[in-house]
Structure 1
Amino acid sequence: MKSRLFVLRGLLKRNLALRLVLALSLAILPLGLVSVHQTYKVLEERQALSETALLEQTQQAVAESRDMIQSAVSTAETLAVSVSVFDTSEGTCDAVMARVVERNPIYTFAGFVNADLDLVCASNGRRQDLRNLDSIRSELTSLQTEILTHPLEFIGGIATFSVAVPAFGDGRFLGTVWIAVPVHVLNEKLAATAPDVDLVLFQSGGDIIATADFSDFRRSVLPASWSLQDLAVRGGHTFRDHNRDGTRRDFAIVPIVDDSVLALGSWEPRHKNVMMPGYEEAFALYFPLFMWAVTILVAYVSVHHLVIRHVRRLRSWMRLYAAGRNDLDTAQLDNAPEELEVVAEAFRAMTRRLSEQDRRLEEDLREKTVLLREVHHRVKNNLQLISSMLNMQIRATATPEARHLLRRVQDRVMALSAIHRYLYMARRVSRVRADKLLEDIIQQLVIVGTLDEAGRQIKVTTAFAPVEISHDQSVPLSLLATEASINAVKYCGMTSGADAWINIAFKEIDDENFCLSVVNSRLPQAEAGTEEPIDGSGLGSKLIEAFVSQLGGTLDLQDLPDRYELHVVFPMADPTPEEDPD
């Protein structure tokens, strides 16, 4: 979690667009919260209006059904008061019951059940012992008005809505007056009054009396989260829930007969859009989020068009200039604001100044390089002149010892001349190709030559790796190679019938060290005579040690019976990063 916070904080510091989005979000957050609050208030008011309208619609839709049920209850109560004076044995009671059914076509049955549960009086003249009907025993013996929905055989076996009212005489329970109404009559009334409202009549116990659509799917209109018995306990009220088909509906509960019979009405919320039902509420809730997204998008596009793209263009100019492009002094922005155009002009002015400074520096460097090459050229010419003078002196010298010494000096001068000739002709003066330099020097010394006056040839083998050394290391390395080669020529004598040989190598040991090796054959000790020793006591050995010291290296000498080895290991020097112009 902390790492993610650090990454987000880094993005916010570097990314202008993200910082802009955050700033605008904080700026419009209060407006968004107010809008959401107001939207919820409007939705609550719409829901209240929808539920109130449903309650009124339900009350109006069940008005006829309520009157019908209350009429049946009133008729039964009237008969319960009068039944005590009827003579059930002479058929007077049957006639009255039949007259009631005849005068009220909605009634399908009227009768009287005495306290012994015998049907003693009925509109159809039927007599029956009802003691075996356990399903209605409690209603027939109840001392209160009861509502029944049982299809009974003595009523015709059809689905009926029955009202049972107790009758009393002389302070004692006489029996129960029974009036039945066909359920289909109530169903038709409910279906005809409010087609857009799903209506259900039910008892407080949870039994359905009638519905607008009395089919096998009549219970699908009931709320999914509440039972009818629980709704009856709560009395008249409204609420919103999904029905058992999963559709969101508004529900209203209206009591009809006290708290024993209630009506349930439901419909889809009235504030929904007719063209796109179900989407208006979601749109109202998410409209602030939509406005936030539109605001952020417009702001980002505007800032990107006015600022970000020009800043990125300036950044690309800077990268191109850092990569070596020098033609950016005329680059232009595309319809940039004045503030950014000032920055672009400052950049162009800076590139012009830097380009002018680079041009002057390049001219100065070229001039200095030309002068430096001229110096090397003149030094080379002077050294060659000295070599010529020494050559003239050698020819004029009579003693072999003097000619030998002068030739040694001439070899050293020619080695220096070779260095300056290479530096004069080289394209780069900061780095020197050691293999080419050493090859040039060795050719002058030992590639073509004889060991003695007898004409015996020296076999010379070279192996120079193509490596570069610094300018400061070129002089001591060249002189070191010269002295080592001269000593090798001097002491590479041969045994009888065998040729002398010299092996010279220069290679890179690793990324930081070089090695110069000179290995030559040698005269046997018995034939060496009084020649200059090779143990470092002569001038050549002293010069070699001095050059090794200048290179900062180490000297390794191996005096073996059949050969003499010289190995010098020295480190690579850091060159000055300076090149000649084209």
Structure 2
Amino acid sequence: MISAMAVVLSPLLIMGAMNAWSEQQFSQRIRFHELQQTAQDRFRQVDTILVRTRTALRMITAESADFSCSEITHRMAVLDLPLRNTVRFDADGIVTCSEIGEGVVGTPMSQLEWNDRMRKGVEAIETSGPRSRVLGDPSIFMLRRLNDPQGNFAGSIGLSMSLVDIAARLAEATESSSATIALVVPGGEVIGSNIMAGVPMEWISEGASLNRRIHHLTPDQGPAMDIVLLPLRTEGLWLMVASPSPPQRVEGTLAFLVPILAYLAALLAASWIADAMVLRWLERIRIRIQDMRSSARYMPLTPELSRAPREMQQVAEAFDDLTSRITTHESDMQRALVQMKAAFREVHHRVKNNLQVMLSMLKLQGRGEPLPETQAALKVAAHRVAMMAAVHHTLLNEGNLDTVEALDLFNAICNQVDEQKGWVEGGRSIIPDVSPGPLPADMAVPLGMFVLEAVGLLCPDDDDADVVLHFDRDNGNCRLKLTCGRDGTGGEGEIDRDTSLFLSAFARQIGGSVSVENGSETEITIELAFFVSHMAPTELPN
């Protein structure tokens, strides 16, 4: 009966709700267009002020680069702009003159990155919100680049306009006494309104200009306000139009008030029955499961539901059986994972030991060879085997099986190179400059061998310059660069055939490419570029 009552009343309830919702949406659209029209009128007024200021500043900088701050202010006076201050900066961003506040002369501009952007070719910078260092009021700051007769960067001219004065002009031009026109700066601060001091940050966040809607705000004093925000053509500056919210209409609510009450009564009765039969026991199941999750201890659920309906008891029995199976399976998997991790470490340990044995045999063989050429070849082979052993030793100490920390890997490689080259006790060394992050373990040995072969090319025995190993990544694009200085008499530094084969082979093994820059007389660089996809390794239990 309860279900039938709910089904019969549902169409009436839905029709009344749809009617009320459509009327509310129509009223909101009309209200939005009214406020937006007012905002568009004030937008054109503010935009006219900004356009005139930009045009005048562009004409002044194009006409002459020698105007003083007083001359610039005098030229701008005829435009009737809310100008607060005029400042000139030299090429280093230092204030050379200021119309207001002589104490700022000789100090750097508040944002030195603006000067850097100008030096790199940016013609103009315009921002809003920063407070004037002299007057302390929020302002719009416009900066324009100056060039010397040769076209080089010679400094900049800055103008600041008071947002308080602009807001006052907007208020004077507003015909409606109930509407509030103000400006909103980064941070949500409202300029030019005595009703509200700020708005929520999400209203002026990135992408908020695409959301064409009315915001509602209840100030500490006064009625609730309907607010429309319109972005201006200045970074971070918004135009705000606020007006008291109209009284809410109740006709739509009355249209389906009675069906709602009947519908709620039916649902209340159904809810009570459902709670007595089902929900109460489901809540007990949820609480017991939550306790088990927090304590990580399994407790049988069946005794807790001994007085529940038979269906709930069957659910508890099935849950207990499933939990028991999962617990056993999870324990087995944890043991298997621990064994697998230990096996992987043992493999790296045995590989390292076998390579150490090979290294010892190569050293012994080299001592017994009479020919210098054979001794040199065996020494090179020993160095390569030692590098592989050092890399496997690093993999042995890593917590993850599939990855290796770049900082640990390259530090071990650099230490091995220093030891092989005999730089440990000397003044020469290989200097690592590595960005941390995980790398695939399969790349560890090719990277170590690549560095070893590249250092052999970069560092002849008669040179004493340090080698810099630089490694960084950008969204998976990795670069490994080895750079060494030279005195300009070392020839062109061409790669011999064997070294070229080794470098190319290791680069292909990790899917990368190698390049050599040896055009400079004082420096030679070998670069390996390769790609690594995003890695999120899982730490195995100890």
TM-score (normalizing by structure 2)? 0.47
TM-score (normalizing by structure 1)? 0.44
Give the structure with higher Rg (CA): 1
